[in-house]
Amino acid sequence: MNFDNTVSLYQIVSAEDTFDQAATEAFSLIREAQEKYPDWPRVFYLDIEGHKGPQSGFNEEFFEFQQEFWFQTIAHFVTAFETPMVGALVNPNPQQNDVPTALRVDPPKPSES
């Protein structure tokens, strides 16, 4: 909790963390914040160690984590966020507070040849 009645969430993804581990932790932080501070504005800060690669400086897995997963899953449940690849953004829509009780991460679909 901050002095301005917002909840700051901070996640450090280590070089050893997988996509699934990072996704589960991000979702758990959102869920815990909603349980402890119902409907308070949330600001999420993300740091990623390692996972370097050619896609905006990240490997494919953590490029997708910040580009697809973050915007499709996490961004709706915060007022603002900061990620290494995107920088700081404010959600143009009201923060959603109907956080699901569980996260389901589907395996990637096989690419079509």
111 falls within a domain: no
Cα separation of 47 and 69, whole Å?
A: 15
**Structure pTM?**
0.85
55-109 pLDDT, tens per residue? 888 999 999 999 999 999 999 999 999 999 989 999 999 999 999 887 766 655 6
Q: How many helices (H) and strands (E) does the chain have?
A: 2, 6
Domain that holds residue 34: 7-90
110 falls within a domain: no
26 falls within a domain: yes
Cα separation of 62 and 41, whole Å?
A: 26
The two tokens of residue 26 are: 């991000």
Q: Is 57 helix (H, G, I), strand (E, B) or coil?
A: coil
Task: Work out how many domains the chain is built from and give that number.
Answer: 1
12 falls within a domain: yes
5-52 pLDDT, tens per residue? 899 999 999 999 999 999 999 999 999 999 999 999 999 999 999 999
2 falls within a domain: no
56 falls within a domain: yes
**68 DSSP 8-state letter:** I
113 falls within a domain: no
The two tokens of residue 104 are: 């389901």
29-39 pLDDT, tens per residue? 999 999 999 99
User: CA dihedral in degrees (4, 66, 71, 96; nearest 10)?
Assistant: -30
73 falls within a domain: yes
